[in-house]
Structure 1
């Protein structure tokens, strides 16, 4: 499954776009600009996403990668 397919699946399940997740993460204090603040751990993000959006681990990690900047929309 491509990274973009993960994002599409997440949006279908949650109704939240990648930009929505960036905004929500910023509201929670996780972001500095468009990227995660230094020191924010994957576990913090995945715990939040699993609890609030019922995402599985792989999908939560995809959002973490997006927020961290290691993956981008449209990536394969």
Structure 2
């Protein structure tokens, strides 16, 4: 599954865009200094998200929307279309 696919799947499961989930994280006081386990516990308890989906959201919380060019283009299940992740929701593409 690509990085973007994890974010899209989290949106489908929660009904909230990645941007909305990250805004909610900010409202809770979570930021780049927050430990992953805290964020994962919240996402699991409130939204039933598993580790993979939670870690994708945590990555963006900690590092922003840029990802390595390593997985952009090419072939395979883990390839992304862009080195910039979309947070505005599936409907905006």
- How does the TM-score come out when normalised to structure 1? 0.79
Match of 2:50 among 38, 43, 56: 56
Q: Which has the higher contact order (CA 8 A, sep 6+)?
A: 1
Instruction: Please identify which structure carries the higher strand content.
Output: 1
**RMSD in angstroms over aligned alpha carbons?**
1.5
Between Structure 1 and Structure 2, whose CA radius of gyration is higher? 2
Is 1:69 the equivalent of 2:69? no
> 1:5, 1:30 → 2: CA distance?
23
How many residues align structurally?
A: 68
What is the distance in 2 between the residues matched to 1:47 and 1:71?
22
TM-score, normalised with respect to structure 2: 0.66
Structure 1: unaligned runs, 5 residues or longer: none
Gaps of 5+ in 2: 67-84, 87-93
